[in-house]
Amino acid sequence: MTRIPPSPRSRDARPRAGIVPPWLLLRVAEATDRFDVAADAAQRSLRHDVPLRELRAEGGHPSFGAPPVPRERPSLRPGAEPEPDRRISDAGGAQTLPGRLVRREGEPATGDEAVDQAYDGLGETYRLFQRVFGRDAIDGAGAPLEATVHFGDRYDNAFWDGERMVFGDGDGEVFRGFTQSLSVIGHELAHGVTEATARLRYRDQSGALNEHVSDVFGALVEQYAMGQDAGAATWLIGEGVFTDLVEGRALRSMIEPGTAYDDDVLGRDPQPAHFRDYIRTADDNGGVHLNSGIPNRAFALAAVELGGFAWEHAGRVWYDTLTGGTLGPDDGFAVFAAATLGSARARFGATSAEVRAVANGWRAVGLDPA
């Protein structure tokens, strides 16, 4: 087995919520007989991530501290719709953030695919949160949407570091560039929204909920941009980040956890789809990328039962739950499930189809929100 030696912890290192789980990178790192370039890239990606994973495990994730101070937004013209303030930087293959600012709000496309995909993806994510939920950027007060692309040398991940979204280019053998997937961009921005609201602790069940919420809004961003209803949606997170050499559709499937990939090198997607199969582990901050499959399926089932556009019903319930002030940083699945049922009642009425669908979704994965 390939052993990934830890790097010295940087005093400036910020914790991350990365979209690719460590066990998946370890599989690639061990596949030196099949993926020469990718194995080396995965080993370096893991070395870079180790100290920050340790920091999160010790409670260093920014979701723990005092909530961010909202920034005052300049006054808008009467009747004007708020607009995003996007700022895309280029790390140029280095691991220094933020990198060189290369595109600001309103500037034309640069011709750099990653820069322009990040710019467009942040715009789509902003539009969902602003037009559907009435939220002006991550902090609700129009803070800039900051992103860095071309981070590291063939870096195999994307993450939220507490201030910005950061995207690697992938190794080209297993992973493509992470700006290729709109659900990845939406996922990372949603980590910032969680940090500014419920501040769910990034470990065990609360950490799985942190990942779950990002998957929910990552999926909704993609569906909103494409005009897809719940029945037509793929419910895939990270579709397009694998190359054609991998037997897999995406990093995760919300509607069918455990089916996103089945590859002779990467193995089979290990996400459980039911609470009886909850995985207890010390790895991955207590299995945050594993057990998120359970609430993911509950949400997707509720949305499909309701039909139509998921952001109009189930998405509103989940957003109300995240921002309603009733969740604590350490709350787990049972508390979150009950809170979503309360949000559904408050918004749609106690006898509504939304309440029934939310309850049915949770019961289908082994949790009774009542």
Concatenated DSSP letters of 179-226: GG-HHHHHHHHHHHHHHHTT---SSHHHHHHHHHHHHHHHHHHHHHHH
Query: All domains of the chain, ordered by start, with CATH?
Result: 86-364 (1.10.390.10)
Task: Supply the pLDDT for residue 16.
Answer: 61
Q: Is 61 an active-site residue?
A: no
pLDDT, position 7: 34
Q: What is the pLDDT of residue 321?
A: 98
pLDDT along the chain (370 residues), means of 10: 34 60 93 90 81 42 42 54 94 96 98 98 98 96 97 95 94 97 97 96 97 98 98 97 97 98 95 98 94 98 98 98 97 98 98 98 96
Give which of 208, 184, 197, 356 is closest to 290, Cα–Cα. 208
* Active-site residue identified among 150, 187, 191, 289: 289
The alpha carbon of 32 is separated from its chain's Cα centroid by a whole number of angstroms, namely: 29
Q: Is 289 a catalytic residue?
A: yes
Cβ partners under 8 Å of residue 287, min gap 6: 204, 208, 279, 280, 281
The active-site residue, picked from 30, 163, 188, 239, is: 188
Collapse the DSSP code of 274 into the 3-class scheme (helix H, G, I; strand E, B; otherwise coil) and give the result. Answer: coil
